[in-house]
C-alpha cells in the first residue's frame, strides 16, 4: 500500500528534517556566449523512506536535478541540502567522500567494468571508500549480490550476463556503502518490459527495507508505482 504523504514547509518545527531539500535551485550552462537555463528555481522536498519518480519531457531538467542531488553538478543559485548537509558548499574532495558514503547511483547503461567479475564490480565502491576492512569487502559484496538474486553469478563477467542481470549487479554495486539514498537515472530504460518490471519490484523491496529511492523515468506506468511523482517541465516543478 502506498504511504500517505503530507506536504510541509522546509524546516517546520517539531518534524524531522527532510532527507533532500532543494530551495530556489537554478542552473545555467554556458558555452561561449550561449547560455542555457536548465533549472529555473526548483523547490523540492523529499522525505526519508520515500520513493519518488521524476518525469518530464526530454530536456526538461530531470537529469540536472539528479545531478544536483548527487553533487555531480553545482547550482548557479539556490541551496541543495541532503541528509542535513549543504552539499552545494562542499569542496570537491569532501563531496567525493560524501557521495561515496551517502548515495548509490544506478545508471541506464549499467556501466560495469567489462574485465571485472560481478563480485569485483560490486566491490568497487568499497575499494574506493576504504570504509570496510579489505578482508570483509568480498563478503559484503557477495551479500549484496545475494540481495539482488545473483549470488550464483558472482564469478561471471558482464558479457556473460543478461541485461537484467547486469542491472542487478549495478544495483548491488550501488548498495555497497549501505547508502540512505538510492538514485536511478532511467534504471529500467535499457531493459525489456518484463525485465524492467522485475527491476522495479527489486527497487520497491529495497525501498521498503532500507533506502529512500529517487528515479527518473519516461515510463508512466513505472512512475505511477512510486509513492509520489514529480513532473519537471522547462526547468521548474510543474506538478
Q: What's the alpha-carbon Rg for the chain, to the nearest Å?
A: 18
Confidence of residue 7 (pLDDT cuts 50, 70, 90): very low
Least confident of 39-53, 129-143, 153-167: 129-143
pLDDT above 90 covers what percent of the chain?
49
Average pLDDT over residues 125-152: 85
pLDDT at 177 over 90: no
Average pLDDT of the chain?
86
pLDDT at 12 over 50: no
Least confident of 13-17, 46-50, 136-140: 13-17
pTM value surpassing 0.75: yes
Q: Which domains does the chain have, with CATH numbers?
A: 49-73+91-237 (3.40.50.300)
pLDDT value, residue 129:
67
Average pLDDT over residues 52-73: 92
- Residue range 96-124, pLDDT digits in tens: 888 888 898 888 778 899 999 999 999 98
Higher pLDDT, 103 or 11: 103
pLDDT at 3 over 80: no
Beta strands in 7-118 (DSSP E): 20-31, 34-46, 51-55, 77-82, 85-86, 103-107
Cα–Cα distance measured from residue 33 to residue 132, given in angstroms and rounded to the nearest whole number: 47
Higher pLDDT, 49 or 131: 49
Average pLDDT over residues 116-135: 84
Handedness of CA 217, 236, 239, 74 (dihedral sign): positive
**The C-alpha cell of 136 is what?**
570483509
- Residue range 213-224, pLDDT digits in tens: 999 988 888 899
- Residue 193's nearest CA partner among 171, 163, 233 is 163
DSSP for 112-171, please give it: --TTS-HHHHHHHHHHHH--S-HHHHHHHHHHHHHHTT-GGGTT--GGGS-HHHHHHHHH
Contacts of 208 (CB under 8 A, 6+ apart): none
Element (H, E) at 204: helix 193-209
Cα–Cα distance measured from residue 181 to residue 166, given in angstroms and rounded to the nearest whole number: 21
Amino acid at each position: 500500500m502506498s504511504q500517505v504523504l503530507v506536504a510541509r514547509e522546509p524546516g517546520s518545527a517539531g518534524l524531522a528534517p527532510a532527507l533532500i531539500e532543494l530551495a530556489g535551485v537554478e542552473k545555467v550552462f554556458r558555452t561561449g556566449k550561449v547560455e542555457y537555463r536548465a533549472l529555473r528555481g526548483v523547490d523540492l522536498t523529499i522525505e526519508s523512506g520515500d520513493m519518488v519518480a521524476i518525469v518530464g519531457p526530454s530536456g526538461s531538467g530531470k537529469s540536472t536535478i539528479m545531478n544536483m542531488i548527487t553533487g555531480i553538478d553545482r547550482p548557479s543559485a539556490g541551496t541543495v541540502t541532503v541528509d542535513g548537509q549543504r552539499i552545494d558548499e562542499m569542496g570537491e574532495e569532501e563531496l567525493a567522500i560524501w557521495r561515496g558514503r551517502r548515495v548509490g547511483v544506478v545508471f541506464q547503461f549499467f556501466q560495469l567494468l567489462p574485465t571485472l567479475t560481478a563480485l569485483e564490480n560490486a566491490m568497487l565502491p568499497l575499494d574506493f571508500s576504504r570504509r570496510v576492512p579489505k578482508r570483509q569487502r568480498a563478503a559484503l559484496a557477495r551479500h549484496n549480490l545475494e540481495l539482488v538474486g545473483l549470488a550464483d553469478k558472482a564469478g561471471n563477467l558482464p558479457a556473460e550476463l543478461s541485461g537484467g542481470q547486469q542491472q542487478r549487479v549495478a544495483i548491488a554495486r550501488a548498495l555497497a556503502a549501505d547508502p540512505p539514498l538510492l538514485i536511478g537515472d532511467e534504471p529500467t530504460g535499457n531493459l525489456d518490459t518484463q525485465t524492467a518490471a522485475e527491476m522495479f519490484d527489486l527497487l520497491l523491496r529495497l525501498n521498503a527495507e532500507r533506502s529512500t529511492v529517487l528515479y527518473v523515468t519516461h515510463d508512466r506506468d513505472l512512475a505511477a508505482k512510486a509513492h509520489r511523482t514529480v513532473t519537471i517541465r522547462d526547468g521548474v516543478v510543474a506538478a
